[in-house]
Every structure is written in C-alpha cells, then in structure tokens.
C-alpha cells in the first residue's frame, strides 16, 4: 500500500520540534491535505493540541507500549482516509529507554515504520560545527533513516553558506531554514492546557508561522520526500482486523460506558477508546464539572487523567455528581480511574490554590500537591492479585507523570521501570475497580480492556 510519510526529529529536546511540526502541519492543512499526525512516545498532550488547534487526526506511536507488528498496524489503522502522515519525534533522536537504549526511541519508531527522518538542527550559536554534528547523527547508526535536514534559528545569510556545505560533504538534502521567531513561540503551558478563549489566538499564531515556513522551507521537497518513501507493507489484512487478537463481546453485546471528557479530564489515549468501541462498547461522554449525575443506562465508568487540581473548587461544588460517582462505584459499577481520575476518587484533593476540597470519597485518603515531579516515565505493571483487569501475574505497560501525591496509592500492582532496579507498589484494584496514577495503553495487553467490558456487561445484567 502507499502511505506518504515523514518524521521530524532533533538532536535533543528544546530544538524546536513541536513548533516547527505544528507550523508544517498547518501549512499542509492550508494546502488542502488530509494529514494524520503522530507523536512518538507516551505524550497524549501534543496529539490533543494537534487535534484541537490544527484539526488533524492525531495519535501516538510507541515501541515500548507495543511490539513492532502492533505499532505498524496501529499506524496503518490511523492513516486511513488521510493523504499523508507526519510524525513528531520525542527527546533526542536516539534517546530511548532509560536514556541509554535505542529501544523506545524516535529512531526505533523510524526503523519500525521505515520513516524518512528530517533532522531539525538548532543552529543558534554555531555554524560549521553543525556539519560535524549532523555527520555524527547520520553515521551513529548505519540505517539512521535520516534523509534531510532543516536548520532552525539561523539567518538567511548563514543558511546560504551552510546549505551547500552540508549537501556536498554529507550527501543529505537541506530542506530550508527557520529564522528566529520569538514572537511566534509556543508557551509550553499551551501544549498541556488550552483554554477555550485562547484557541483562536493560537490558530492565528500558527497561521502566521505556516506563512513564514512557506517562504523559508521547501514544502514541495518535503512532499517529494514523503512520496519517495510511500511504499508500506503490513502482514495480513488491514483496517479493523489489523490486530487479530481483538475479539468483540459475545453475541454482539454492547455496553454503555460513561467517559469523563471536559477541561478537568482530558488526557486519554484515543486508541484506547476506539479499541473499546471495537470490542463492543458504546462510549457516552459526560462532564464531572457541569453534569449533575452520571449518564442514564451506563454500566461502566472511565475517569481519565487531566487537571482536576485546577478545577477542584468547581468539582467539589458539584455535590450531586460526586455523590452519583461514589454511589455507582461503591455499588460495583466497573471503573477505570487514571491519575487525575484517581485524584477525583479521593476523600479530599488539594487544589492548585492550596485549599483542600471534598471529592467523590470512594477512597478514604487525601491527595496533595508536592513540589517536584514524582514517579515519572515508562513502567511495566504486574498484577499482585486477581482483579478486574487480569489475574495475578498479568502485565500491562503504561507510564506515570504527576506532581500530586496520595496518602494511599494502593498495592494491587507492582510497577517496574524498564531500566534499573526501581519499582514500587501502586493501584487500588478489585473485581470492579482500577484506580491509580499509572496511565495504561490497552494495546500492551488486550486482556485488560476485554475483562473490563466483561465486568461492565455483568454489572449491566443486574439491571443497574
């Protein structure tokens, strides 16, 4: 099959990947292309930003979460009905697990999907030394996948001198440059928190950025690079049957699942939700901020991650919703509550304003703010006992990222870092509950979402 595609990467974080990727995506959308955008790694924030502000279909690609075949099939599944795919890398190109392995790196994604990579090099404070840096990235791995270069934060005069040197000495195409654009930078806060009133202003900023890139980059050369690497093959069928282990609930059963979707609960892997739908779920969005009770007729509950601490006062004042959630979960309604959703289930939550507010009260513990990022990064979870998502010994992959902590994180799973000896106990797990800080990626073990839906069907069979 034909999938025109490109990967944008850089030597390190802070090189301008996200800004330039957003500008290129906007330029392609302006040209009328239907673009599928992807983010390497576990970050659900950039895809959310791409979808909300630019309007592209955006997903994650992560070779820690999924094996090579599943990664390839998810890629194919998510480029359906699109003209081309643009993938944004994470961290430095070769930075993988623990910072010392290629596994899980942007490079690992590039070779798994045969992606032509464009190296975005920050030229600030350097000139000829950039040639040596680029050469190192080209030669560090024989199959580096790097096909072209873009120079960032460089003047037109220096660019005109460097472009022929790089192309002649290294044999790699230079697609253009990005001048210093301090007035068009993206506040990192925007990537994780876009308030409704800010969206139009951000759209205007990205439109101006796209106009600049149309002048300083060769978008035509970039598109030719996409087309030159368009051939793509996946073993077996494509489409909804890509992951052959996916099985729907028996007899065409459909179960209604309430999914929290608002400004307080917005961190969700869309691949997870679509997988639940393929297995037989009917997803019903609701807002713990503004709705008074859970949707009628649901037999399962998903409380996503997000920013409950920023909305703690409003969440607390919505007493009827807090009572509705508490009653449903204590009655046995199957519930998955990740990170922010886990915080909402506490008796009390310290808001960003430093005040403790009553929450749903499912868990008899307080959640409080810390002064630093706590447990962070990839983890493999192993069930310590039989519970809703699997039997003792089953494993799932996920990640943690949070500044808030709990008096009681649970002990139903053991979390283990992929590199080194660090591990810890976490998650409140029962026959009907998963509540903890780890964000799960369901494709790492399809047993978990299937068992969740089976429990929802059983609960619905009670007539609840």
> What SS3 class is residue 115?
coil
Question: Radius of gyration over alpha carbons of the chain, in Å?
Answer: 23
> Residue 95 and residue 460: Cα distance in Å, rounded?
46
Question: 178 and 213 in contact (C-beta within 8 Å)?
Answer: yes
> Residue 344 and residue 338: Cα distance in Å, rounded?
10
% helix / strand / coil in the chain, to the nearest 5? 35, 25, 35
> Residue 20 and residue 41: Cα distance in Å, rounded?
18
> Residue 267 and residue 456: Cα distance in Å, rounded?
22
> Residue 388 and residue 334: Cα distance in Å, rounded?
8
For the chain, give the longest Cα–Cα distance. 74
The CA–CA distances, whole Å, from 237 to 73, 77, 234 equal 9, 11, 8
**Residue 422: how many CB atoms within 10 A of its CB?**
12
**Phi and psi dihedrals of 427, rounded to 5?**
80, 130
> Residue 302 and residue 336: Cα distance in Å, rounded?
5
Pairing relation of β-strands 255-260 and 301-303?
A: parallel
Residues 6+ apart with CB under 8 A from 271: 59, 60, 74, 78, 441, 442, 443
> What SS3 class is residue 231?
strand
> Residue 154 and residue 1: Cα distance in Å, rounded?
38
Catalytic site residue from 226, 266, 299, 339: 339
Structural tokens at position 345: 């289930």
Question: 119 and 150 in contact (C-beta within 8 Å)?
Answer: yes
- To the nearest 10 degrees (0 to 180), the angle between helices 129-140 and 156-170 is 40
**Is 409 a catalytic site residue?**
no
Q: What is the dihedral of CA 149, 155, 157, 160, to 10 degrees?
A: 10
| Residues belonging to the active site | 339
């Amino acid at each position: 099959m034909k999938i025109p595609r490109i990967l944008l990467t850089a030597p390190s974080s802070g090189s301008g990947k996200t800004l330039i990727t957003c500008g290129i995506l906007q330029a392609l959308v302006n040209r009328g292309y239907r673009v599928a955008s992807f983010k390497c790694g576990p970050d659900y924030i950039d895809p959310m930003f791409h979808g909300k502000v630019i309007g592209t279909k955006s997903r994650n690609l992560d070779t820690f979460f999924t094996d090579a075949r599943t990664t390839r099939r998810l890629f194919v599944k998510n480029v359906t009905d699109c003209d081309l795919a643009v993938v944004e890398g994470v961290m430095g190109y070769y930075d993988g697990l623990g910072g010392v392995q290629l596994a899980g790196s942007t490079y690992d994604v590039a070779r798994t999907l045969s992606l032509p990579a464009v190296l975005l090099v920050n030229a600030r404070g350097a000139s000829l030394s950039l040639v040596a840096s680029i050469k190192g990235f080209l030669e560090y791995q024989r199959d580096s996948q790097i096909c072209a270069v873009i120079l960032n934060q460089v003047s037109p005069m220096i660019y005109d001198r460097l472009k022929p040197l790089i192309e002649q000495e290294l044999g790699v195409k230079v697609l253009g440059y990005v001048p210093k654009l301090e007035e068009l930078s993206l506040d990192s806060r925007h990537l994780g928190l876009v308030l409704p009133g800010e969206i139009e202003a951000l759209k205007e900023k990205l439109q101006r950025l796209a106009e600049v890139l149309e002048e300083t980059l060769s978008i035509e050369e970039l598109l030719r690079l996409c087309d030159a690497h368009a051939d793509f093959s996946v073993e077996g069928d494509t489409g909804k049957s890509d992951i052959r282990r996916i099985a729907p609930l028996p007899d065409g059963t459909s179960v209604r699942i309430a999914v929290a979707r608002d400004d307080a609960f917005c961190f969700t892997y869309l691949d997870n939700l679509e997988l639940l739908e393929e297995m037989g779920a009917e997803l019903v969005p609701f807002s713990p901020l503004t709705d008074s009770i859970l949707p009628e007729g649901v037999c399962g509950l998903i409380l996503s991650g997000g920013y409950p601490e920023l909305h703690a006062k409003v969440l607390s004042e919505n007493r009827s919703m807090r009572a509705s959630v508490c009653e449903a979960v204590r009655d046995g309604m199957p519930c998955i509550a990740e990170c922010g959703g886990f915080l909402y289930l506490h008796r009390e939550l310290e808001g960003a304003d430093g005040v403790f507010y009553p929450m749903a009260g499912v868990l008899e513990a307080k959640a409080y703010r810390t002064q630093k990022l706590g447990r962070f990064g990839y983890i493999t979870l192993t069930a310590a006992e039989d519970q809703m998502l699997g039997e003792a010994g089953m494993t799932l992959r996920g990640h943690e990222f949070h500044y808030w902590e709990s008096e009681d994180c649970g002990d139903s799973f053991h979390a283990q870092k992929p590199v080194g000896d660090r591990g810890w106990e976490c998650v409140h797990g029962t026959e009907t509950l998963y509540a903890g800080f780890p964000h799960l990626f369901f494709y790492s073990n399809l047993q978990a979402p299937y068992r969740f839906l089976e429990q929802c069907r059983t609960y619905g069979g009670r007539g609840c």
